[in-house]
Amino acid sequence: MMQVALAQVAAVDWGKVFGTAIKVLLILVLAFVIMRLGDAAVERFFNNWNKLGPVDGRRAQTLRTLLKSGLRYTVYFIAMVTILNLFGVRVEAILAGAGVVGLAVGFGAQNLVRDVITGFFLLLEDQFAVGDYITAAGVSGTVEEMGLRVTRLRDFGGELHIIPNGQITQVTNHSRGNMRALVEVGVAYEEDLDRVTAVLQQVCEQAARDMADIIAEGPHVLGVVNFGQSDVVIRIIAYTKPMQQWYVERELRRRIKEAFDRENIEIPYPRRVVLSMSGGERRDQVSGW
Amino acid sequence: MMQVALAQVAAVDWGKVFGTAIKVLLILVLAFVIMRLGDAAVERFFNNWNKLGPVDGRRAQTLRTLLKSGLRYTVYFIAMVTILNLFGVRVEAILAGAGVVGLAVGFGAQNLVRDVITGFFLLLEDQFAVGDYITAAGVSGTVEEMGLRVTRLRDFGGELHIIPNGQITQVTNHSRGNMRALVEVGVAYEEDLDRVTAVLQQVCEQAARDMADIIAEGPHVLGVVNFGQSDVVIRIIAYTKPMQQWYVERELRRRIKEAFDRENIEIPYPRRVVLSMSGGERRDQVSGW
Amino acid sequence: MMQVALAQVAAVDWGKVFGTAIKVLLILVLAFVIMRLGDAAVERFFNNWNKLGPVDGRRAQTLRTLLKSGLRYTVYFIAMVTILNLFGVRVEAILAGAGVVGLAVGFGAQNLVRDVITGFFLLLEDQFAVGDYITAAGVSGTVEEMGLRVTRLRDFGGELHIIPNGQITQVTNHSRGNMRALVEVGVAYEEDLDRVTAVLQQVCEQAARDMADIIAEGPHVLGVVNFGQSDVVIRIIAYTKPMQQWYVERELRRRIKEAFDRENIEIPYPRRVVLSMSGGERRDQVSGW
Amino acid sequence: MMQVALAQVAAVDWGKVFGTAIKVLLILVLAFVIMRLGDAAVERFFNNWNKLGPVDGRRAQTLRTLLKSGLRYTVYFIAMVTILNLFGVRVEAILAGAGVVGLAVGFGAQNLVRDVITGFFLLLEDQFAVGDYITAAGVSGTVEEMGLRVTRLRDFGGELHIIPNGQITQVTNHSRGNMRALVEVGVAYEEDLDRVTAVLQQVCEQAARDMADIIAEGPHVLGVVNFGQSDVVIRIIAYTKPMQQWYVERELRRRIKEAFDRENIEIPYPRRVVLSMSGGERRDQVSGW
Amino acid sequence: MMQVALAQVAAVDWGKVFGTAIKVLLILVLAFVIMRLGDAAVERFFNNWNKLGPVDGRRAQTLRTLLKSGLRYTVYFIAMVTILNLFGVRVEAILAGAGVVGLAVGFGAQNLVRDVITGFFLLLEDQFAVGDYITAAGVSGTVEEMGLRVTRLRDFGGELHIIPNGQITQVTNHSRGNMRALVEVGVAYEEDLDRVTAVLQQVCEQAARDMADIIAEGPHVLGVVNFGQSDVVIRIIAYTKPMQQWYVERELRRRIKEAFDRENIEIPYPRRVVLSMSGGERRDQVSGW
Amino acid sequence: MMQVALAQVAAVDWGKVFGTAIKVLLILVLAFVIMRLGDAAVERFFNNWNKLGPVDGRRAQTLRTLLKSGLRYTVYFIAMVTILNLFGVRVEAILAGAGVVGLAVGFGAQNLVRDVITGFFLLLEDQFAVGDYITAAGVSGTVEEMGLRVTRLRDFGGELHIIPNGQITQVTNHSRGNMRALVEVGVAYEEDLDRVTAVLQQVCEQAARDMADIIAEGPHVLGVVNFGQSDVVIRIIAYTKPMQQWYVERELRRRIKEAFDRENIEIPYPRRVVLSMSGGERRDQVSGW
Amino acid sequence: MMQVALAQVAAVDWGKVFGTAIKVLLILVLAFVIMRLGDAAVERFFNNWNKLGPVDGRRAQTLRTLLKSGLRYTVYFIAMVTILNLFGVRVEAILAGAGVVGLAVGFGAQNLVRDVITGFFLLLEDQFAVGDYITAAGVSGTVEEMGLRVTRLRDFGGELHIIPNGQITQVTNHSRGNMRALVEVGVAYEEDLDRVTAVLQQVCEQAARDMADIIAEGPHVLGVVNFGQSDVVIRIIAYTKPMQQWYVERELRRRIKEAFDRENIEIPYPRRVVLSMSGGERRDQVSGW
């Protein structure tokens, strides 16, 4: 047996072994060079980008790290597969053989991948920043943390929403630009619309002066937006600094109530006209009530 | 060992090396030529398109750049794969071996691809332009920015909606053509419909004269569109310049209210006929109330 | 080195080169012939189709162009792949190697393909024509433009809906055949149904005479379709020329209102029987009100 | 060059050419034979089916044609691929190479295939026939046309619905068997239920006699199906010939109204017991009204 | 040419031809044997199953036929492919080449396959039988026919629902076991609950005696299930033979109404306490009514 | 011909035949050994599991059988494919050739597989047991039978729900731990909340004593949970043994009604303040009523 | 025959056998080394992570075990496939041959994989911990158990929800940070808003003092948030320790009720203005009531 073993060792094709070793070395060197070049390309890309406009440092750092890691793991993977192939390990066969498992894993993992890809674009496109009040995936809140896989929102109610980025299809950002404050008030059909409008106009002008620091576009009386069942509905709108719209709406309502009280303008209760039928009706006599 | 190494070097098939080098050169030249031809084709396409009608310069530029880049990267990719194959790197094996990862990435990235493809057609087909008021993916707003991946809409409420283009299945554009202003007003069953119609007709004619600059097709009294519970509902419609329809509706409502007040035509409160049962009812006696 | 290069050139198998050239030529000729035959087949198909019945010229032209282009690109593609294979470029390997990208593109592009396939059938089957009033993908409007990828509808409200054809699963066409006008009117339980029916019948007959040009099937009084809370509901239907149904409904309502006023038939307000409890009730004494 | 060309021609392996020609011939003959056999099999299948019961001639014809075409194109396709393979054209490579496009087309075309497959079964299983009133894919109407890809329904409102067969998951056929007519009528709590039931029973018996030609199973008084807020609800059902149920319901309602008027049975208006609080209430004194 | 042809014939390797013929024969014999064994296995399976409990003969027959056919077609298919391979027809290549079409067909046909697989389990697991009243895929009705692809339900309204089995995800069977009859009756807050309960208990006991043949578990007075706005709601339940629950509910309602009339227990009309404000109110003076 | 046949037989490579036979034998032995080892491993797994805690014998038996069968069929399948390969039958080619059919079957069968996998986990994780009252896939009921493919629930209404396990995404088990009984009762705004709370507290304490065997955590008066339109809503909760919560709620309602009657605390009817306008109103004079 | 067998044995290529054995040995050694290295890497990763911040020991342990098992099974699998390949068993062919089954299994098992992947991230990212009150997959409850495949929530109602982790797309955690308590109270239009606000402010200040241990941010009177039909709605909010918000809301309601009773501020009943029409109305005379 020993002889056979020795024969085996002797039969090794040393030239082939040597050649293989050189190839492995070359692949490793090449992989190293490509990684360096890739890193440099990423750096240059971010430097150029920086010149175009102000970039949030922390976000740029996240993206830079991400791109470099992605590049590195891709190069590692290809180098490893190529080297294993040199040694005759059929990596692709193994991976193909792992197809049944792979299919399940692939489908199962797609959510993970989608989360990360979406997260990458959320960061890159600056759709929102920490501190913004946004609506996404059906919930609203202040952004507490932006990650590659999940975003954390703090609800007005105090709840913490943890949303995988892949669930975020469309984002509504309430902190970019002025927000609208909208108040609708109903007055009785009997009121004189011109007088009501004049009173509301006064309230609006006073409010614009008093809240000049948070109102961007003074409250305007738009006019009659609906013939309600018991009232004529008048709409007032203003544009305010973000997150101040609810305060402005409450303040406007308080001032309108005050002005209407002062001016004897009524915000009407629901009304109904009742037609009473009493005595001598044909039908009820018949039914013997 | 050294000898083996030298033997290895000596054994290199220099003819093969030389042939490979020529092939690589040919591939590169070919790739360069194809890219040039492709660029020229894209240019000619856009020049011809230009002749057919006015093309928004910025959009054409976006599409031209996009097509050229796509072509370039495709040629790069094919040339690289072909060259790597010449050197015996089994690129397709590596990529196939990356199948499990690829499946997940492919599924995860399909949203990205769909966004870009849809964005391309949104630009090419001129479905909307910056400044249009549109409805898409369930939200409405003025288009602030059109990109290949996302579209940004500014809501009437001030919110900024950021919509991936792939989410935009159908677009409703409110800024192409005249918009309808529609007012419905209920009058009591007791009113004379002919007199009411005449009054409304007068209001409409006056409004058409006063707002001639924004009304495209004068308000018409359509007629009775519903027998309501307490009123006969009459509909008036007009066509106006885009985004002016709400103003016209509010103005029409104000004028109708004024005219009805003047003419003593009533917009009725909800009515109910009450039949009172008092004393001597069979049942209530029985139950001992 | 030069010698090696020359040796390389000398070593070229000119017979093989020549053979390859002939094969390329043959493939090109074959491709040309097949394209001609295909064009002829398409022409003959459309000529035969034409004989069967009247075909909208513009639509036929669109389809003819489409079929020819599809055929042409398919032949181009196969010829190119075959020729590249002759030169040893492993096109299928490249394309397979592009699998990861391809998967994403394939999934992303399926919407585009579905749009075009559906558009083809919308054209071929004549489901609607420009000017028809249709409902599709949840919106209604007049067809302004039919394309292979998108259909444009103009809403009654003036909005322009741009719908990718793939979103159109089922089409409702309101312009093919007569439309129904339906009016429901409630009369009090106290009325004599036979008299009411007679009055309504008269109105219908008069309307049928007066609007004979737009009414296809005279309004009929169907009968009692509901015992409402306060009224007996009677239904009247007619069939009219497309898009005239709303006018006929409004006109019928006006005439019914007039006839009922003349005949003292009441369209009742909501009614309620009120049973008052006053004094001496067991319970309220107990609770000390 | 000429010599090389001639040498090429001379070098052709004529035996191989001849063999190939014979193989091609054999394949064509085989394909022809298989097609003939297939046609015969289809014919025999339909003849046997015919013997089992009456088959709608037009539908059988559609299916027969469809099956024969399917068979024919399959044989054509296989023969063509086999012959092209003989000539060394790697059809499968081309088609595999077309994978990226194919994936998109495949997914895009699946709707088309599903339409046709579903249409085939709709025809084969006789789920409905032209003229039936059916509900499918959320719309109801009379079947105007059944095709392999689409079904056309004419709505009661006149609209023409064009439904791709793949959208038809479940069919509700209103024209196979007797339909139910259902009338619910409310009577006051004060009425004697036995007397009411007797009156309704009489109405039903009379109706059964008068409409014997369209009523399959005489109207029955089922009994009390609900204690309503203001009435005791009694249900009457009958089974009628298809599409006559609405007429029977309207007729029953008319007769019930008549009988109730005659017999002084009341269909009650909504009732409400009102407990008035007047003067001296604890609370209202406190709040200073 | 003739010589060449002859040479071709002479050159046929008759040994190979003969060997191939034997192989074909062996394959056919093997296929026959396997089919016989499979049939026997299916028979034995059904015989064993039969011993375990009573099996509905028709259903067992359907399943037996189905299993045998499936087995047979599988063996046919494998034998055919193997034989074609012997003759050098690359069946798998053809089928792979048919990949683009196949993808579309595969996706399109998956509904068909799912219908049949689900149908197989519906039969095997005896989820319902012809004549059962079931709810499936959103519709309810009596099962008229169970097939491998579709199930036909006859609705209480007379409509025939044709449901592909793949649409049936979960089945609710109303004919397996006793059904609940549930009656809720409201009494006034002023009533003595103990007396009401005693009266209802009597009604229940009488009903249990009178309908002993269809009531499985005598009606019980459960107690107060809700404090309604105007009444205290008491619930009564019973369990009855399938499909008799509605009759029992109607009968119970009739008897309760009768008992309550006899015992002077009131089923109250909706009540409302009205607080009138008359004269001298602060506000209305202000607003100048 | 005979000779040829004999030659064929003689030409058989008996050494190869013999070697093949040995290989087949080895494969069979190996398969047998692996199955034995697998069975032993399964047994040991279940024995160890048994030691950790009490395991429901029947369920463990189901899982043990399932795992052994799975293992057995896997080994059978691999052995068969390996043996067929030895005989030169290209099983993988056949199966690949069956790809078009396979795709459809695979997609169609995925529901079946998902049912079984989910069923396996439902059993393994003990999510519910026969007799538990659960909610799953939108229906609630008592578990009558748990299978690998379907679960059968008996509804409170008597209906039998048959749910494929794959439809069960999340399970709500109402029989694991104490259930909450919740009663909300409204009292008039005029009542003294402290007195009402004291009375309710007494009722709760008495109920806790009387139903100590089924109440786990005595009913508590939580406090005011809503300012209703006509009442102040007070909530009482208790925790009870599973399935007793409804009885406890009914009993608590009965006792509260009794206590309130005794203590003269009112459960108020809906209230409304009515402001009558009579004579001399500006508007109605105008409109000429 | 014996001779043949011996010849077979003699013909065995012992050198090859020996070489194979060595290769097997090498693979096993390598697999062992890789596993050791992997374990070490996992340990080091967790040690480093530990240094960064406090890590919940049990969760870290779960993840560590999971990662090691995953690594181990991957190495086992690759080693086994490589060894089987050495012995000529075509594992990948077998697995590919199992493709039809695999497809179904893969699709069926994807849910399982998704559950585990999601569970892994739920643990890793610390989205919630046992004892937290969360909302996930549409149900809310206290986390009783977190597993890799399922999470168990205990509902406020006592129900146990068992949710596969893959169903948990977004998590709302109610136990991280302070929760909002929100009370809305309506006051009559006649009240003086400033006095009401002052009273509410007093209540809030007292509540903040009395519940200082559970209120994080004292209750504030926000102002008028709505003009209701019969009342002016004022909102009060506070932030409390998690799970105390409902208690604080109930307590605030109790104190507001008390303060309003003391201060004679009214929480108004619904109001309605009634305009009675009595005698001499045009219409009713006409209709002959």
The 3 state secondary structure assigned to B40-76 is HHHHHHHHHHHHHCCCCHHHHHHHHHHHHHHHHHHHH
pLDDT at residue G284 in the model: 38
Comparing alpha-carbon positions, the chain C residue that sits nearest to E189 is C283
pLDDT at residue E240 in the model: 94
- E283 neighbourhood in chain G, CB within 8 Å: 189-190
Mean per-residue pLDDT, D115-122 = 87
Q: How confident is the model at residue C143 (pLDDT cuts 50, 70, 90)?
A: very high
Instruction: Measure in Å the smallest separation between the Cα of D5 and chain E Cα atoms.
Output: 23
Q: How far is C-alpha E234 from the geometric centre of its chain's CA atoms? A: 34
Instruction: Measure in Å the smallest separation between the Cα of C79 and chain F Cα atoms.
Output: 27
pLDDT at residue E93 is higher than 70: no
Q: Do B186 and A227 touch (CB under 8 A)?
A: yes
Instruction: Measure in Å the smallest separation between the Cα of G283 and chain B Cα atoms.
Output: 7
Mean pLDDT of chain C: 81
Between E275, E282, E283, which is nearest G269 by CB?
A: E275
- A190 neighbourhood in chain F, CB within 8 Å: 282-283
Q: Do F189 and D282 touch (CB under 8 A)?
A: no
Least confident segment among A111-120, B53-62, B262-271, E119-128? B53-62
pLDDT at residue D83 in the model: 77
- Return residues 245-284 of C near G (CB < 8 Å): 264, 266
pLDDT at residue F53 in the model: 56
Q: How confident is the model at residue F280 (pLDDT cuts 50, 70, 90)?
A: very low
Strand duo E150-154 + B232-240: pairing: unpaired
Using N-to-C axis directions, what is the helix angle for F193-210 and G245-263, rounded to 10°?
140
ipTM score for this prediction: 0.82
**C-alpha angle G170-G176-G182 in degrees, rounded to nearest 5:** 95
> Is the model more confident about D254 or about C93?
D254
> Is the model more confident about D103 or about A231?
A231
Instruction: Measure in Å the smallest separation between the Cα of G137 and chain B Cα atoms.
Output: 22
Q: Which two tokens stand for residue C110?
A: 């399926």
Least confident segment among B259-268, D139-148, E110-119, E136-145? E110-119
Q: How confident is the model at residue F218 (pLDDT cuts 50, 70, 90)?
A: confident
pLDDT at residue G289 is higher than 70: no
Q: Do F189 and D275 touch (CB under 8 A)?
A: no
- G289 neighbourhood in chain D, CB within 8 Å: none
Strand duo G271-277 + A271-277: pairing: parallel
Comparing alpha-carbon positions, the chain E residue that sits nearest to C114 is E104
D155-192 b/e (C-beta count within 10 Å ≥ 16 → b):
bebbbbbbbbbbbbebbbbbbbbbbbbbbbbbbbbbbe
Instruction: Measure in Å the smallest separation between the Cα of E281 and chain G Cα atoms.
Output: 10
CATH of G179-263, one of 3.40.50.12780, 1.25.40.20, 3.30.70.100, 3.30.420.40: 3.30.70.100
- G288 neighbourhood in chain C, CB within 8 Å: 264
Strand duo E271-277 + D271-277: pairing: parallel
From residue E18, alpha-carbon distances to C40, E88, F17 in Å are: 48, 15, 20
Between B110, B224, B239, which is nearest C253 by CB?
A: B224
Helices and strands (DSSP H and E) totals, chain F: 8, 9
Q: Determine contact: A285 vs chain B, CB below 8 A.
A: no
Mean pLDDT of chain F: 81
pLDDT at residue C42 is higher than 90: no
pLDDT at residue F219 in the model: 93
Comparing alpha-carbon positions, the chain A residue that sits nearest to F287 is A190
Mean per-residue pLDDT, A185-207 = 92
Mean pLDDT of chain G: 81
Q: Please name the CATH architecture into which domain B14-108 falls.
A: Orthogonal Bundle (1.10)
Strand duo B271-277 + A271-277: pairing: parallel
Interface-testing mutation among F281, F284, F287, with chain B (most B C-beta atoms within 10 A): F287
pLDDT at residue G123 in the model: 84
- Domains in chain B: boundaries: 14-108, 118-173, 179-263
Between C92, C169, C245, which is nearest D97 by CB?
A: C92
Comparing alpha-carbon positions, the chain D residue that sits nearest to G260 is D287
Helix/strand/coil (H/E/C) assignment for every residue in chain E: CHHHHHHHHHCCCHHHHHHHHHHHHHHHHHHHHHHHHHHHHHHHHHHHHHHHCCCCHHHHHHHHHHHHHHHHHHHHHHHHHHHHHHCCCCHHHHHHHCHHHHHHHHHHHHHHHHHHHHHHHHHHCCCCCCCCEEEECCEEEEEEEECCCEEEEECCCCCEEEEEHHHCCCEEECCCCCEEEEEEEEECCCCCHHHHHHHHHHHHHHHHHHCCCCEEEEEEEEEEEEECCCCEEEEEEEEECCCCHHHHHHHHHHHHHHHHHHHCCCCCCCEEEEEEECCCCHHHHHHCC
Neighbours of E, requiring at least 3 CB pairs below 8 Å, are A, B, C, D, F, G
Instruction: Measure in Å the smallest separation between the Cα of F137 and chain C Cα atoms.
Output: 29
Q: How confident is the model at residue B162 (pLDDT cuts 50, 70, 90)?
A: very high
pLDDT at residue A287 is higher than 50: no
- Measured between its terminal Cα atoms, the distance across chain F in Å is 120
Between A107, A253, A271, which is nearest G224 by CB?
A: A253
- A271 neighbourhood in chain G, CB within 8 Å: 272-275
pLDDT at residue D45 in the model: 78
Q: How confident is the model at residue A204 (pLDDT cuts 50, 70, 90)?
A: very high
Q: Determine contact: F89 vs chain E, CB below 8 A.
A: yes
Which of A280-289, F77-86, G279-288 has the highest mean predicted lDDT (pLDDT)? F77-86
Q: How confident is the model at residue B280 (pLDDT cuts 50, 70, 90)?
A: very low
Mean per-residue pLDDT, F180-209 = 92
> Is the model more confident about D164 or about C64?
D164
pLDDT at residue C57 in the model: 65
pLDDT at residue F65 is higher than 90: no
> Is the model more confident about G124 or about F138?
F138
Interface-testing mutation among D77, D113, D214, D230, with chain E (most E C-beta atoms within 10 A): D113
Q: Determine contact: F286 vs chain B, CB below 8 A.
A: yes
Q: Do B135 and C267 touch (CB under 8 A)?
A: no
Q: Do A190 and F283 touch (CB under 8 A)?
A: yes
- G189 neighbourhood in chain E, CB within 8 Å: 283
Comparing alpha-carbon positions, the chain F residue that sits nearest to B269 is F284
Neighbours of A, requiring at least 3 CB pairs below 8 Å, are B, C, D, E, F, G
Comparing alpha-carbon positions, the chain D residue that sits nearest to E93 is D92
- A269 neighbourhood in chain F, CB within 8 Å: 275
pLDDT at residue A192 is higher than 80: yes
Q: C175 — phi, psi (to 5°)?
A: -120, 15
Mean per-residue pLDDT, F114-132 = 87
Q: Do D155 and C172 touch (CB under 8 A)?
A: yes
pLDDT at residue E4 in the model: 57
pLDDT at residue E197 is higher than 80: yes
Mean per-residue pLDDT, E270-283 = 65
pLDDT at residue A286 is higher than 80: no
Q: Does E179-263 match E14-108 at the fold level?
A: no
pLDDT at residue A12 is higher than 80: no
CATH class of the region E118-173: mainly beta
Comparing alpha-carbon positions, the chain E residue that sits nearest to A190 is E289
Q: Which two tokens stand for residue D104?
A: 């998109």
**C-alpha angle A2-A3-A9 in degrees, rounded to nearest 5:** 95
Mean per-residue pLDDT, E49-60 = 64
Between C275, C282, C283, which is nearest E269 by CB?
A: C275
- Return residues 169-228 of A near B (CB < 8 Å): 169-174, 176-180, 182, 189, 193, 222-227
Comparing alpha-carbon positions, the chain G residue that sits nearest to B271 is G275
Mean pLDDT of chain B: 81
Mean per-residue pLDDT, G194-209 = 94
Could you tell me if F174 and F131 are in contact, meaning their C-beta atoms sit under 8 angstroms apart?
no
Comparing alpha-carbon positions, the chain B residue that sits nearest to F285 is B264
Mean pLDDT of chain D: 81
Q: Determine contact: C4 vs chain E, CB below 8 A.
A: no
Neighbours of D, requiring at least 3 CB pairs below 8 Å, are A, B, C, E, F, G
Neighbours of F, requiring at least 3 CB pairs below 8 Å, are A, B, C, D, E, G
Mean per-residue pLDDT, D200-221 = 93
- F264 neighbourhood in chain C, CB within 8 Å: 286-288
- D275 neighbourhood in chain F, CB within 8 Å: 269
Could you tell me if D249 and D236 are in contact, meaning their C-beta atoms sit under 8 angstroms apart?
no
Q: Do C193 and D269 touch (CB under 8 A)?
A: no
pLDDT at residue A284 in the model: 38
Strand duo F271-277 + G271-277: pairing: parallel
Closest CA to A128 of A117, A136, A137, A139: A136
- Return residues 130-159 of F near G (CB < 8 Å): 135
Q: Determine contact: G103 vs chain E, CB below 8 A.
A: no
Mean per-residue pLDDT, C11-17 = 67
